[in-house]
């Protein structure tokens, strides 16, 4: 081995051994680096999209390619069709006249397209439902390439659902002011019914209570005398009868 030391090359054999030694050392270093980076990518993928990693067949490399294609803000993609076009798995219409056909999409993110292709091949190898689907489409006359394209399109929909699961906004609660305005509108409608004689005691009382609760949120409770006056006024309004003049002016 002394002949393989730098500066002491005695011939072609020694130079070849030195080159092989350098390649072996570099190979070991790269293998250790790849192992470390793969572990980091898998950890980051689990943190960024746990729903995506839970899909059958999705690993760290596949998830990394799909996450990179979707970007840091996947809700920019308004629906799964947009994500399918981004990945290049959505067929492009190429109809002419009475002929309806679609052509292969050569655009989109090719890394994401490759990830979906690998995922589709994996599903065909071990998933029973995917095999049954492939058998049915084969009986319909589809080729293997066409079946894989169809599977990739379905997988794009599944991946999009997993990517956007953690970014869906919670339903916005109705604001108190809007609730009060809505209750006041219902109370106004009931009051108009009283004016024309079309009146329901239970509906009016319930609407009045809701309007008072919504409009007086945060106020002090009414005194006993004021509450009794309000109830008496409401009772008097309930039992009054308003006659509407007819077409001839008779009351």
CA 131, CA 137: separation in Å to the nearest integer? 10
Instruction: Identify whether the C-beta of residue 89 lies closer than 8 Å to the C-beta of residue 158.
Output: no
pLDDT at 90: 87
Confidence check: pLDDT of 69 > 70: yes
Instruction: Identify whether the C-beta of residue 160 lies closer than 8 Å to the C-beta of residue 83.
Output: yes
Q: Give ∠ CA 42-63-125 in degrees, rounded to 5.
A: 105
pLDDT-derived band at 190 (thresholds 50, 70, 90) equals low
Q: Read off the pLDDT of residues 15-67 as tens digits, 9 standing for 90 and up.
A: 888 899 999 999 999 999 999 999 998 998 898 889 999 998 999 899 999 99
**Torsion sign across C-alpha atoms 104, 109, 111, 115:** negative
Instruction: Identify whether the C-beta of residue 237 lies closer than 8 Å to the C-beta of residue 194.
Output: yes
pLDDT-derived band at 171 (thresholds 50, 70, 90) equals low
Percent with pLDDT over 70 in the chain: 60
Predicted TM-score (pTM) of this structure: 0.57
* 222 or 68: which leads in pLDDT: 68
pLDDT-derived band at 209 (thresholds 50, 70, 90) equals low
* 149 or 215: which leads in pLDDT: 149
pLDDT-derived band at 250 (thresholds 50, 70, 90) equals very low
User: What are 224-230's contacts with CB under 8 Å, separation 24+?
Assistant: none
């Amino acid at each position: 081995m002394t002949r393989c030391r730098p500066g002491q090359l005695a011939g072609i054999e020694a130079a070849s051994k030195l080159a092989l030694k350098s390649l072996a050392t570099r190979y070991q270093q790269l293998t250790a680096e790849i192992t470390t980076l793969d572990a980091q990518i898998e950890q980051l993928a689990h943190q960024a999209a746990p729903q995506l990693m839970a899909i059958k067949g999705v690993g760290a490399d596949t998830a990394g390619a799909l996450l990179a294609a979707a970007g840091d803000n996947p809700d920019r993609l308004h629906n799964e069709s947009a994500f399918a076009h981004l990945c290049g798995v959505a067929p492009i219409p190429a109809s002419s006249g009475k002929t309806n056909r679609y052509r292969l999409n050569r655009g989109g993110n090719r890394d994401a397209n490759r990830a979906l292709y690998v995922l589709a091949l994996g599903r065909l190898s071990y998933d029973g439902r995917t095999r049954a689907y492939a058998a049915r489409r084969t009986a319909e006359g589809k080729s293997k390439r066409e079946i894989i394209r169809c599977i990739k399109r379905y997988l794009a929909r599944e991946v999009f659902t997993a990517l956007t699961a953690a970014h869906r906004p919670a339903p916005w609660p109705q604001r108190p002011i809007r609730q009060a305005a809505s209750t006041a509108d219902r109370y106004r409608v009931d009051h108009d019914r009283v004016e024309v004689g079309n009146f329901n005691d239970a509906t009016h009382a319930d609407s009045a209570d809701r309007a008072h609760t919504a409009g007086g949120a945060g106020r002090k409770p009414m005194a006993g005398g004021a509450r009794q006056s309000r109830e008496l006024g409401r009772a008097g309004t309930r039992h009054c009868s308003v006659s509407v003049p007819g077409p001839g002016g008779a009351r």
